[in-house]
Structure 1
Amino acid sequence: MNNKTIAFIANFTGIFLFGISMVIIGSILPLLKARFGMSDIAAGGLFSVLPVGMLAGSVLFGPVVDKFGYRWVLSVASLFLSLGFFGIVHVGSLHLLRAGIFFFGLGGGVINGGTSALVSDLSEGKNKIINLNWLGLFYGIGAFSMPMILSRIDEIHYTLVIDVVSGISLAVALIFLLINYPLTVQKEKISLKLIPVFVKNKLFMAICFYLFFQSAFEAIINNWSVSFFIDKLAVPQYQALIALSVSVSGLVCMRILTGSVLKKWHHFRLIQLSLLLFSLGLICLVLPASYFVHLLGMFLIGSGLAPGFPVMLGLVGEIFKEVSGTAFSFAMLIALTGNTIINYSIGILTEKFGMNVFPYVVLVEIVMMIFIFLLIGKADKKTAIRY
């Protein structure tokens, strides 16, 4: 097995664990609320701690990776994930719980951005989007597996399952420390002068703000859909967890398709399909229909979420090849700012209006993403990025 294959496998394993970390809080939120006596605002605050940690990780990883390489960065990030998993099931205070979630965010932000940048650096041309899509597939498998497993076991076994994931994260930290990293791109020296270069690039900034809403949308589904199904649609927790897993299965299925059957599609055609699936999914969610129609809505929304990050980060990697880590870091910073702001806002809105606001927030997300996509298309014609 060559060094590049080993590096890809390590990346896929790391993003798999990141996928688990992104849904674990939403999956066990009802238990955490009962355990610590939290209100909806306090729960929204927990979800805001996660992207704050991710923001910190996203800001740090790019410049450090471009200057020093991937080895220690990805290894330490996996260690933070391990600490986060261990912390959320063993701490006895709300402050320590927040600290554990922050470790999730910090490690997750580095893993998410670092593995994406590394896969981009290991790939060339259109293979950037294809390989980033496969990376996203393993994120989806991780995000799918945890709520599905938790929905099928008794609550008393949750701690054991999460402890096992913590141990796997620790093993991955050692793997990242030992493997080689064969890169296809010669990096440039990083500088703060890159910031105005980023800001002046209209296509890049439009992509960043698309990811602002894409990241928030993913977090909304991961963090609030379980509560929406329980509170608004009046289903038991295990069925709400199945709904979350169904949305992730949609993401997984679509990433399999975009990495195989649809791999020759133009990247903008994939985004158009994504926006259509969002709209159809929302219609299914708000219809006064059966649980299975609502499940279809979650599947369609999950499918729509699939192309966003692989396509947009593939474009970023093509625009800024020599400083891809820093460019990814900047894009993730904008994306996770949206994640933080919108998650906290939902906590405030649900405290005042209940989970009735959930479909309206999803609608606003879709409208904004359509608008920004039109701006991206306009900027792309001027920049002429083509594969």
Structure 2
Amino acid sequence: MYNRKLVFASACAGLFLFGVGAITLGSIAPDLRSKFNLDELQIGGLFSLFPVGILCGSLGFGPITDRFGYKLLLAICSILLALGFAGIGLANSIWLIQICILLIGIGGGAINGATSALVADISTENKGASLALFSVFFGLGALTMPFVLGLLRDLVAFESIVTAIGGLTFLLSLAYFGLQFPAAKHNEGISMAQLGQMLKDPLLLMIGFFLFWQSACEALINNWTTTFLLDTLQVNGRWTLFALSTYVAGMSVMRLLTGSVFSKIPASRMLGFGMGFLIVGAIVLGWMPGLNWVIFGLVLIGFGLALGFPVMFGMSSSLYSKNSGTAIGIILVISLVGNLLTNFAMGYLAKSWGIGIFSVGLLIAAVVQALFCFLVFRNSKMVN
């Protein structure tokens, strides 16, 4: 027996803190670059550690939750997340920062996947809309971090803010230990034959590669926007953080509307509109001058990227309702490869060609993602 509202609220809290973690590195990148005297390639290497950690967390959470349930995994991974936040705030050496980024990635990756699978499991109708509403909390978490850093930039050191977030995350782990969650689905676990069948499913793989390019776009926006604005447009450091917040605000508004006002409209149709917003936003951000155009472009990009993960998580959990955690884990792993490769590539290209290459890379990733969106929904109609 479990209380659905409490479980949903706890999942939202976990996703909120994962959102904080996902945007933290990009938000404090200029501070880390100054504090440790890092160049673009070294910053790119730091960014790439985060998806490596998420990749590790995403590889394991699916089979674990399908076999053992959600409680223990969520509680332990919240502790890892707390240690990572606190460590970044207290560290005075770059190798400690690297370890903490990995901890945030591992804990956050598992929490992201497990809470998404949990909400999909407890949602009985219109999983896409339910997951979109749930995903608002990722946006709220991601919005909070750059906003707070920008607001308190001249009053409190970024290290103190990140350490305080670690304390809040530890409190969440205690809540997870005290809650009841849905029972495990398979006491015997998933077989290798079942896993092999899922890995050969063309539709599931297409969903994964759609999210590959979704993650590529998110990696560019989350981790490189502040550097692009500082070095190319000479935007004030505080305003770069506020501008990044408008991207997250656009994402959150689109998810909120999809999960409430537009809940009767198929989420897949809303996602199609989002691809148009994404491409236009990439063009505006990269080639229209002035801070107002930057903000407009970031809002459009937020609209465009809002529904990728919620819609594809809902589709995957419907395809494999008995192994939803494993199915979501597979597509998450594919998506994180996109994040990892993008950060490495962007660090190398920015060092060799300059940060201006950011705008070209973002537009290419947006167009390819839109193409995979078309392929996914065309093949899903064939399957149905």
TM interval, short-chain normalised = over 0.9
Q: CA deviation at 1:187?
A: 7.5
Give 1:194 deviation, angstroms: 2.5
Answer yes or no: is the 8 Å Cα contact 2:66–2:184 preserved in 1. no
| Superposed CA offset, 1:298-346 (max 9, x none) | 0110111111000000000100000111111111111111110111110
Given the alignment of the two structures, is residue 121 of structure 1 paired with residue 121 of structure 2, yes or no?
A: yes
Q: Does residue 1:357 correspond to 2:357, yes or no?
A: yes
| 1:1-387 equivalence runs, <5 A | 3-126=3-126, 128-155=127-154, 156-182=156-182, 189-384=189-384
Asked whether the equivalents of residues 67 and 184 of structure 2 are also in contact (C-alpha less than 8 Å), the reply is: no
Distance 2:187 2:118 in 1: 12
Given that residues 274 and 307 in structure 2 are in contact (C-alpha distance below 8 angstroms), is that contact kept between their aligned partners in structure 1? yes
* Contact 2:78–2:169 (CA under 8 A) maintained in structure 1: yes
How far residue 185 of structure 1 moved from its aligned partner, in angstroms, is 6.4
For 1:6 and 1:381, the matched residues in 2 are separated by 36
What amino acid does structure 2 have at the position aligned with 1:151? G
The structural deviation recorded for 1:160 is: 2.4
Tell me the CA shift for residue 280 of structure 1: 1.6
How does the TM-score come out when normalised to structure 1? 0.96
Would you say how many aligned residue pairs link Structure 1 and Structure 2?
383
One-letter amino acid matched to 1:247: Y
**Could you list the runs of 5+ residues in structure 1 that have no partner in the other structure?**
none
Contact (CA 8 Å) 2:69, 2:185: kept in 1 or not?
A: no
| 1:336 maps to amino acid | L
Deviations 1:85-140 (CA, angstroms, capped at 9, x unpaired): 111121111111100000010001101001001111111231x2122112210000
Cα distance per residue 1:38-86 (max 9 Å; x no partner): 1111100001100000000000111111111111100011111101111
Query: What is the distance in 2 between the residues matched to 1:11 and 1:377?
Result: 28
Instruction: State the Cα deviation string for residues 362-386 of structure 1 (Å, max 9, x = none).
Output: 11111211221222122112211xx
Moved beyond 6 Å, runs of 4+: 184-188
* Bigger Cα displacement from structure 2, 321-330 vs 368-377: 368-377
Q: Distance in 1 between matches of 2:269 and 2:153?
A: 43
- Quickly say closer, same or farther: Cα 1:228–1:348, change in 2 above 3 A: same
Deviation at 1:184, TM superposition (A): 10
Aligned 8 A contact 1:84 1:104 in 2? yes
Over aligned residues, Cα RMSD in angstroms?
1.6
Letter in 2 for 1:298: L
1:247·1:301 contact (CA, 8 Å) conserved in 2?
yes
Q: Is the 8 A contact 2:213 2:365 kept in 1?
A: yes
Distance in 2 separating the partners of 1:133 and 1:286: 28
Identity %: 36
Relative to structure 1, the CA distance from residue 184 to residue 256 in structure 2 (aligned partners, 3 Å threshold; closer, same or farther) is farther
TM-score norm. by structure 2 comes to 0.96
**Does the Cα contact within 8 Å between 1:63 and 1:326 map onto a contact in 2?**
yes
* C-alpha spacing 1:161/1:233, structure 2 compared with 1 (3 Å): same
* Larger displacement relative to structure 2 (54-63 or 287-296): 287-296
Q: Match for 2:233: what amino acid?
A: L
Aligned partner letter, 2:371? F
Give the residue type in structure 1 aligned to 2:301. I
Kindly indicate whether the alpha-carbon contact (under 8 Å) linking 1:123 and 1:184 is maintained by their aligned counterparts in 2: no
Contact 1:55 1:106 in 2 (8 A): yes
Residues 26 and 226, structure 1, Cα contact 8 Å, conserved in 2: yes
Distance 2:229 2:188 in 1: 49
Partners of 1:188 and 1:323 within 8 A in 2: no
For 2:352, give the aligned amino acid: K
Deviation per CA, 1:172-221: give whole Å up to 9, x if none. Answer: 01111110113696787312222321133221111011011112211211
SS in 2 for 1:323: helix
Contact 2:66–2:185 under 8 Å retained in 1: no
Q: Unaligned stretches of 5+ in structure 2?
A: none
Alignment-mate amino acid for residue 145 of structure 1? T
Contact 1:219/1:343, CA 8 A, preserved across alignment: yes
Match of 2:365, as an amino acid?
E
2:353 maps to amino acid: F
More off after superposition, 152-161 vs 363-372? 152-161
Alignment partners' CA distance in 2, 1:336 and 1:135: 21
Q: Distance in 2 between matches of 1:288 and 1:332?
A: 33
How many Å separate the matches in 1 of 2:77 and 2:199? 28
